[in-house]
Amino acid sequence: MIPVLLIILTTRIVPYKEKEIEKRYYTIGEVADDLGVATSLIRFWESEFDIIKPKKNRKGNRQFTKEDVKNVKLIYHLVKEKGYTLNGAREFIKSDVNAAVGKIDMLDSLKNIKAFLQKMKQELQDNQPLT
């Protein structure tokens, strides 16, 4: 009887954590929804910028990789958030794509941290006892 008890006492219960499924490709609708823009704008940027090159399946539907999505977000940031013209954004990207993508990654990380801290602040305020 002791060996069974020993096994029960030494076995640690670990909560089940489902593995996140990562997508390889995103549709143009998913990319547009993520940025809050129309799909026609994404198609227009595809024709204007060489760094957006989604694959197309047999039906002709665009399949954006993570790299494509990053590039679209970079263009969105430059044109919509920073106010660059299309020519200005093109020149900025040509000058140093890696630095531009690095800045966008850093901004995304900072936005995630800000959202997390705001959520935490709200939860702390909601759980604060009334005095």
Q: Which of 48, 50, 53, 51 is nearest to 87 (CA)?
A: 48
**Percent over 70 (pLDDT), the chain:** 82
Total domains in the chain come to: 1
Residue 96 lies in a domain: yes
CATH code, domain carrying 45: 1.10.1660.10
**Cα–Cα distance, 56 to 41 (Å, whole number):** 17
pLDDT at residue 39, as a whole number: 95
Mean pLDDT within 67-73: 91
Tens of pLDDT, residues 5-60: 444 445 556 566 667 777 899 999 999 999 999 999 999 999 999 999 999 999 99
Q: Say yes or no to pLDDT of 73 above 70.
A: yes
Residue 74 lies in a domain: yes
**Percent over 90 (pLDDT), the chain:** 45
Burial 89-111 (b: 16+ CB within 10 A, else e): bbebbeeeeeebbeebeeeeeee
